Structure 1
Amino acid sequence: MRGERAALRTVKEAVNQRRGDMQFLVGGGLNFEKSPLELRERIAFRSEELTRALPLLRQELGLEEAVLVSTCNRVEYVGITLDAKRCRAGWSHFLESYHGFQADWGTYSEFRQGRACVEHLFELVSGLRSMVIGETEIFGQVKAAYEAAHRLQTTGLWLNRLFQTSFSAAKAARSRTFITRGNLSVSSVAVELAERLFGDLSGRSVMVLGAGETSEKTLRALEGRGVSLLLVANRTYGRACELMKELHGEAILWSEFLERSADVDIVISSTSAPHYILTREKLLPLLSRRKGDPLFLIDLAVPRDIDPSVNALDGLYLYNIDDLQSIARQNREDRTAEIARCRRLLEPYIERFTKWAEQRQKRSHGPNVMGDFRTA
């Protein structure tokens, strides 16, 4: 009997020790503020890659829950771990293992823990951490990343609550401030850049490559700008036709876009192609047909759609997503007051999540999931 009791105590002690393990909310990655476009485009993850990437991320970083967010301006993760040090070191191993090359990841990466993770996520979803302050695409991108992780069963109690609360907070901040007023998306800023190049888009011809969310927003931003010819090309021709039902423009076959590029003033590209779709070799024959007329290329894709070397060709002027930062910086300055208002509105949601986490831990006498949450 005494032996059985001793064995039972040993089992209980082991269970309690496991339940008392310190867990941490962690996050980090690369974004446009610290890392060059050349690096971001090489480590971008397409949505179909998450099935393989998320399990590897959990393995390399030692994460019990994980969400991976990959957009044109960032590749970041949020997770729950028992070993924050392993997580921090594992990020480099994960990128090298998945993408097959080495870089100075420590210089370009950020690492956050505890409350800093919560604040970053809430501000990210609200558009406060974007190149273009207040842009709306990021909300949908983070939500899609979370839903993908949820389907793949890499989220649990903590991240489910964290992300769902962040979405509620972002909706409140957007609806109760003017943070979304004006040209706030990357696509709108691209159109604003085109207007600056020409002074006025009236009578100009524009071709948009791709028919995804960014391309659709670009097309809508071009509406009412006096564009004389608006073309859209997409690998799925039906999708291009579907867009043009609502907009005043022409859908063309993907096989025709290079030929038609010789007749437009501006090409704005935003596809999900893993390689360049416009190169020096493809564009060079068009120049003689243009008779000296300049062609402006705006590349919004990550990885990039247009070979940077085309900028050396006479008559071609290439701008990429990082070139939009000067316009974005002015938008940030114009919205300083709105940023402060948004942060004040987000604070109650951050505190609500904090209290929920603490109460949950006290009730279960379980792991301190937030770790040094209040002091991080």
Structure 2
Amino acid sequence: MSNATEALHRRLTHTPYAPPEGSAVSVKFVLQSLLRNPSSGAGESQLQESIRNFVLASALLSASESSTHELLSWIPRQLAAAAAASFRDLSDVYCHGNDKRLVAELAPEVLLLLKDRIKESSIDKGTDGDEVSAASARVPVGFAILAAYQLRWFVTQIDKLNLGKLCNLVIPCALTALDHWSTENIASADEIWHLVVEMSVLLVSSIHQSNPRSHWYMGLVLLAHFRRLFPLFFKWIHADDDETVLLVLKRVHTVLKLTWIRNTPYIMRLVDELVALHKEAALRVCREEIRTSILEVLLLLKQCKGQQFTAAWEKHRDDSNLAALCLSLTEISIDEESSTSNTLRSDSPQNCLQLLTTH
């Protein structure tokens, strides 16, 4: 470990480096700080940290081979190749040549570290709810760019078997990187949404391969057809027969559950249609079943949409005809909501987009 670190540090030191004009980040200094040997009497935790830092340095150097970004353009191919070779040597020592196993073992710690590094320079919100961009002045965005390249290298090194086990870590981190500059890191803007879907498709095809019945596949297919599905739902939800109405409500619930609905203009309209149906139900034979199904859909919307649902519901809050429905929505305890949410999520592990709401 010590020899590998010293050798790579030596090659790095002798590599010419001139920071890009106006850049507040010294990539060479970042790499040198990662390639520091532990002291002679270092304990197990310090050794583990040294291994992690060495792999992070190797990841950044190796990632430069496929990068055209100005922050990494100064790294010569020979140095990147030396980093990759050093990483393989380290794997030989600690994992008997299984480099993918070493990456998988480090991934839980490293991915959380990289996610935090990316978020350090992202747009944040103040306590008053106004957007605050001071975070970008506090931490230069260059550090987030470097972390994103390290993240890509780590994910591409993990084999398919372990990648599936690490989805709960990989997906939030990857979406945070994709959505670095949007408010609260929620990828809901039309400009970047296609990137989020593209990443989700790549992950699904990598993990589930040729299994079109996977919940992940179904969720993404449904997401792609929102524009066709919801106009039909809005039409059929007011059908004359109660059986059709109940079936439509069940299908709406299924679609929301499989997609953890994101980036759609249909939320406001869906809430309005459900409210209208709740009032219409007073004249229907199956009024109780219909109203129960409406409540289930609204609760799911409340869980996955949060503030957007609150905004959509605000105009109906004081409607005297909805007093019972409002009471049902507000009286549910936090524990019950959490339990329901966990059940829904365990039923639909495919939910890339659901993870975005909490991360």
Task: Return the TM-score normalized by structure 1.
Answer: 0.29
Greater strand share, structure number: 1
More relative contact order in 1 or in 2 (CA 8 Å, sep 6+)? 1
Greater helix share, structure number: 2
Task: Return the TM-score normalized by structure 2.
Answer: 0.30
